[in-house]
């Protein structure tokens, strides 16, 4: 990667660039801006998924991050309201290789650039995303400033200074910024042809879901598994949770440093775990929260796992699943205490991808079994959670 103050001019030779991506080490990438204008500063990561750019941009786990898409065809199916994982995009910005072409899809209702602009999100196209991805892999997720100016006027020194001034995600609690403000009920199930999202009208299990930044498709999967879902804010206490007399408790995905969110979430989880036979299921940040609550530690990864092609091995069955992932922190498997079993492991780097409490209906995974986007190899985990609740009732 170039040294400080060097420039990678990735703009067309005869077209003035309208966007600039500045890294904290002084590297500059020029390209074509689309979406909103202005400047945003965040951690820069890359995602290897070949589908689902709208779901990725609206995944609350991406708060505080600019997403580089390694797949070049971004925007070609447009956008639609059904594919949002939360009300508005949460990722701070988008970096792509090719500028979006005119959308061609029967579900399209708005071009990607217009969708981003209406939601105040900045994007840059015409970037050498392969080079950028290699730099992230080799040196870790950098801090970056992304600017879009239709006139192409950039104060690059100021952009680099903004990138360097970004505090980073370590020690940062972002769950409070993306969680719901009050509790609500959820009964929408997974999408099904031809009518879209059906309604769960015969639930079997009462579930309290803690919203650290929950994706809608996770809640749909819970409803499809037979759950009557009540969603509570991230700051809910054990007393708040248990007041609903749930059959099970779900800990959702979310952004930021798990240790920071754990300041208030871990006491809640410990209170829930004091109910010895109460089933608990966690995903992503919820997995990390559960690990912290039982005495393990979490660590910041070099560049994280972001994509829909991550192989994960279930150590209990030997089965290998291709999964969706989105996390920059991980549970330190070496810190797992006695009675906590490592259930899943990444086949990319051997990092921890799941735990379970020995002899108890409590488990969690780092990957996203609800996918959206991605494969559905791990959907059985929702059914396992439902079976745990049925077994406890029996």
- 158 phi/psi in degrees, rounded to 5: -65, -40
- 329 phi/psi in degrees, rounded to 5: -120, 160
Candidates 21, 257, 25; CA nearest to 138 is: 25
C-alpha–C-alpha distance, residues 212 and 249, integer Å:
13
Say if CB 149 and CB 37 are below 8 A apart.
yes
DSSP state of 5: T
Asked if the peptide bond before residue 339 counts as cis, ω within 30 degrees of 0, the response is no
DSSP class per residue in 193-209: TTTBS-B--S--EEEEE
Active-site option among 227, 284, 321, 367:
284
Tell me whether residue 9 is exposed, middle or buried, using C-beta atoms within 10 angstroms of its C-beta: 0 to 12, 13 to 18, 19 or more.
Answer: exposed
Asked if the peptide bond before residue 194 counts as cis, ω within 30 degrees of 0, the response is yes
Active-site option among 43, 55, 92, 370:
370
* Three-point CA angle 174, 179, 180, nearest 5°: 160
Strand extents, DSSP E, the chain: 7-8, 19-23, 28-35, 38-47, 65-69, 93-95, 122-125, 143-148, 184-186, 205-211, 227-233, 248-251, 280-283, 298-314, 320-331, 340-346, 352-357, 362-365
Q: Going by DSSP bridges, is the β-strand pair 184-186/65-69 parallel, antiparallel, or unpaired?
A: unpaired
* Helices 380-393 and 216-224, axial angle in degrees (round to 10): 50
Active-site option among 310, 344, 367, 368:
368
In total, the chain counts a number of residues equal to: 394
Question: Tokens 């370590």, residue?
Answer: 170
Say if CB 222 and CB 207 are below 8 A apart.
yes
Active site residue 370: yes
Q: Going by DSSP bridges, is the β-strand pair 320-331/298-314 parallel, antiparallel, or unpaired?
A: antiparallel
DSSP state of 379: T
Active site residue 20: no
Active site residue 221: no
Q: Which residues are catalytic?
A: 284, 368, 370
């Amino acid at each position: 990667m170039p040294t400080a103050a060097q420039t990678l001019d990735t703009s067309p030779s005869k077209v003035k660039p309208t966007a600039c991506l500045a890294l904290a080490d002084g590297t500059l990438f020029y390209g074509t801006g689309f979406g909103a204008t202005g400047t945003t500063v965040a951690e820069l990561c890359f995602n290897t998924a070949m589908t689902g750019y709208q779901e990725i941009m609206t995944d609350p786990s991406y708060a505080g991050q600019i997403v580089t898409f390694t797949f070049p065809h971004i925007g070609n199916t447009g956008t639609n309201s059904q594919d949002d994982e939360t009300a508005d995009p949460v990722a701070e910005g988008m970096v792509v290789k090719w500028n979006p072409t005119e959308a061609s899809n029967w579900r399209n209702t708005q071009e990607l650039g217009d969708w981003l602009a209406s939601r105040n999100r900045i994007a840059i196209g015409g970037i050498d995303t392969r080079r950028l991805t290699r730099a992230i892999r080799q040196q870790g997720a950098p801090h970056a400033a992304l600017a879009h100016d239709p006139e192409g006027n950039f104060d690059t020194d100021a952009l680099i200074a903004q990138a360097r001034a970004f505090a980073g995600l370590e020690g940062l609690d972002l769950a409070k910024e993306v969680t719901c403000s009050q509790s609500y009920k959820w009964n929408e199930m997974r999408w099904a042809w031809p009518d879209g999202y059906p309604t769960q009208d015969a639930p079997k299990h009462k579930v309290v879901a803690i919203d650290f930044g929950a994706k809608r498709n996770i809640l749909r999967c819970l409803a499809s598994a037979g759950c009557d879902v009540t969603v509570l804010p991230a700051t809910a206490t054990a007393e708040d949770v248990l007041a609903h007399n749930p059959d099970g408790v779900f800990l959702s995905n979310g952004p930021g440093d798990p240790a920071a969110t754990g300041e208030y979430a871990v006491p809640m989880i410990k209170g829930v775990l004091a109910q010895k036979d109460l089933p608990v299921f966690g995903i992503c940040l919820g997995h990390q929260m559960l690990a912290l609550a039982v005495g393990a530690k979490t660590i910041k990864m070099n560049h994280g796992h972001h994509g829909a092609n991550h192989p994960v091995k279930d150590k209990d069955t030997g089965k290998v699943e291709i999964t969706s992932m989105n996390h920059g922190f991980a549970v330190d498997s070496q810190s797992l205490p006695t009675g906590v079993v490592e259930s899943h492991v990444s086949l990319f780097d051997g990092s921890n991808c799941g735990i379970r409490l020995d002899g108890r209906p409590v488990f969690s995974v780092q990957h996203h079994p609800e996918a959206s986007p991605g494969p559905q190899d791990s959907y059985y985990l929702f059914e396992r959670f439902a079976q745990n609740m049925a077994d406890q009732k029996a």
